[in-house]
Chain A
Amino acid sequence: MLNYLSSPKFLRSALPAASLLLLLAAIFYIQPRAMSQFGMNLMLQYAVPIALATIAQMFIITVNDLDLSIGPFVGLTASIGATLLATNPVLGVLALIACIAAYAGLGALIYWRNLPSIVVTLGMSFVWLGIAVLVLPSPGGTAPGWVKAIMSFKIPGIPFPIVAAAIIALVVHFALMRSSYGAVLRGAGGNPKAIARAGWSLLKIKMVMYAAAGLFGVLAGLSLIGLTSAADAHIADRYTLYAIAGVILGGGEFVGGRVSPTGAVLGALTLTLTGSFLIFLKISPDWQIGAQGGVLIIVLALRALINRREASA
């Protein structure tokens, strides 16, 4: 038992949860009043859109790509959600479906021409932002009532963000980690040639993964305006960084299809809490991204240590 608990494999998979618990413990120690349903709701409410964006990024990372446009994309879907979707639901839904289709198309293009995803997505980040500015030139709009209703849903006793995060993690876990097609999708990141030889279409796999990322980007945008009730084209610019950091904190690797949906959601929660932690420590918000970078580097360093032990064992 003890042997298992100190094995590199266990340590690596326990790292995301451990860092989250450590951070929570530190917050409760500094500010015991945070340990209430209200406190948790307040600290974690933005964890839901960040977790969804992180899952979107995770899908892309699974097939060895990186999406530098997820932030502006979430901003675009938020802008559509707060304008078209509220005034003309049919058109709004169509526009959001078109967004997902565009993502699938990007996946196809990147596969077809074997393009570097970071250059393509960096370019697309401007396109998303541009469309968002056209849809919503100045901050405003209103979120549809049903979106707000979902996001302000209250379950007695348990903070809503935690329930939502658990649902997201479970759904994606079963789809990607437990289903047979999920194994094929991850395999396309691990050994694309083997998957192609086995008769699977890599083109289709890329498109499925990019479409899945687009879907979660849409969900992230909608959940975000459910919280803020208005939107802005730039509302989610930072989500690109959050999403990458969330996947890393959650133990995802950048090559080889080694990802963890549960870890990614935990990573997103950790990242969200870092902000609250600084506020409780009365440290200027100037250091917020710095602290997130710091947490990132510490977790990566711990993982490097574990890996080194594994290599020498």
Chain B
Amino acid sequence: MSTMTASFKNLSQKPWIWSYLGMIVVWLATVVFTKGQGGGAIITAGLSFATFTVIVGIGQMFVISTGPGNVDLSIPANIALSGAVATKVMDGSNDMLLVGFLVAMGCGLAVGIFNYALIRILKIPPIIATLSASFLVLSTAIAYGRGLKIKPPTMLADFTTWQIYGIPILAVFVAGLAIVMSVVLHRTVYGRSVLAIGQNMRAAWLAGINVERVRFATYVLSAMLASLCGLLLSGFSGGASLNMGEEYLLASIAVVVIGGTSVAGGKANVPGIWGAALFMFLLVTMLNTFGASAGIRLIMTGLIIVTVITMAGGDEQQS
């Protein structure tokens, strides 16, 4: 009995548990409402769509973990730019797939370096730096990608929509990515440095961590993951569109927060991102199934995020 309570306590201390519980509850509610119809299809769709949120969520998680004030607001603009540039470079040809991939990663690298340069050289908060950068990046994407009607290479489109027994293969790859990033976070010098900086930047610096190099790597990582998301998304949705990144600003931050990563920095959680991304998708699906209007869906999405952050809380109020 005591082991059971102990293990329960252990469980409830893992903040990511809640996102999975939420996901299961929402899925059950949906399936009960439809009397068991489409339960599997919902999971398939959930895995497909959550994949993209997870990719950008991991990057955002690393950024947020480096401490208060660190957030990457350039993700949507970056997705739009990378998707547009890669689609144009590949021009629907399978032979150009690798080139397209490299070009997208190049976009990410450039945006990440630009973000960090603004933070470092202008000494401005990351929120403002990534926001200013996103203005320029988005404008470039709009000017470059206007009227872009190129289909993605068939191999990219097939890969991103490939399913085996209802399991999207891309989701499997991204689950692998999540495991790798989890190892990077907890078992490498870089990952541990990220957490150390998030807990106390000065202490980390005194301990000999090259703080600026770690922050640089983190902003580049986030930007490159956003670019990867842009490339895959353009394959998945049959071409790049300029507003395809829009929803990922809130989504990337929301999955990090709901997934149990501390917004105060220094405490990160990769599995929670998957749970949170699935939860967010299934929640919208449930509201759709219940016949809620667009307005209600928006209100509920917003309220859930506010509720979760309120329950998770920030630091204790110092009085």
A binds B: yes
Binding site for B on A (CB under 8 A): 66, 109, 111-116, 118-120, 122-134, 137, 196, 241, 244-245, 248, 254-255, 284, 286-294, 296-297, 300-301, 303-304, 307
| Pairwise interchain contact B299-A286, C-beta atoms closer than 8 A | no
A203: nearest residue on chain B (CB-CB)?
B317
Known: A116-B68, A127-B302. 11 other contacts (CB 8 A): A111-B317, A112-B317, A113-B310, A123-B254, A123-B304, A126-B298, A127-B303, A127-B306, A130-B300, A286-B143, A304-B122
- B196 beta carbon closer than 8 Å to chain A: no
Query: B118: nearest residue on chain A (CB-CB)?
Result: A297
CB distance from B206 to the nearest CB of A (A): 22
Question: Which B residues, 303 to 319, have Cβ-Cβ distances below 8 Å to chain A?
Answer: 303-306, 309-310, 313-317, 319
Complex-state Cα separation, A292 to B264, whole angstroms: 31
Binding site for A on B (CB under 8 A): 68, 71, 118, 121-125, 127-128, 131-136, 138-140, 142-143, 146, 249-250, 253-254, 257, 263-264, 293-306, 309-310, 313-317, 319
Whether B317 and A244, one on each chain, are in contact in the complex, defined by CB atoms closer than 8 angstroms, is no
Cα separation A123 to B297 with both chains bound (whole Å): 12
Nearest CB of chain A from residue B280's CB, rounded to whole Å = 11
A114 & B299 in contact (Cβ 8 Å cutoff)? no
In the docked arrangement, what's the CA distance between A116 and B315, Å? 10
Q: What total count of A-B pairs have CB within 8 Å? A: 150
Interface of B is mostly: helix
* Beta-carbon contact of B253 and A122 below 8 Å: yes
Known: A115-B309, A120-B309. A292 touches B135 (CB 8 A): yes
Top 4 A-B residue pairs of the complex, sorted by shortest distance between their CB atoms: A290-B139, A293-B135, A130-B298, A126-B302
A109: chain B residues at CB < 8 Å are: 306, 310
Interchain CB contact (< 8 A) of B298 among A129, A244, A291: A129
- Greatest chain A CB density within 10 A among B71, B131, B133, B301 is at B131
Distance in angstroms between the alpha carbons of A137 and B296 in the assembled complex = 12
Residues on B with beta carbons closer than 8 Å to the beta carbon of A293: 132-136, 139
Inter-chain contact B128/A248, CB cutoff 8 Å: yes
Question: Which chain B residues border A66 with CB–CB below 8 Å?
Answer: 127
Measured CA separation A295–B94 after assembly (Å): 40
Q: Which residues does chain B contribute within 8 Å of A294, judged by CB atoms?
A: 135-136
| Closest Cβ neighbor of A112 among chain B residues | B317
Answer whether A114 and B314 are a contact pair too, CB < 8 Å, given A127-B298, A244-B128, A293-B133: yes
A113-B314 contact, Cβ under 8 Å, with A118-B127, A289-B139: yes
Q: Chain A residues near B254: list those with CB within 8 A.
A: 119, 122-123
When the two chains form their complex, are residues A127 and B138 in contact, meaning their CB atoms are under 8 A apart?
A: no
Q: Check if B316 sits within 8 Å of A286, measured CB to CB.
A: no
B298 and A133 contacting across the interface, CB-CB below 8 Å: yes
In the bound complex, CA of A116 to CA of B305 (Å): 12
In contact, B316 and A114 (Cβ under 8 angstroms) = yes
A307 to B, closest residue via Cβ: B123
Question: In the complex, what distance in Å separates the CA atom of A58 from the CA atom of B122?
Answer: 21
**Docked-complex contact A130 and B296, CB < 8 angstroms:** yes
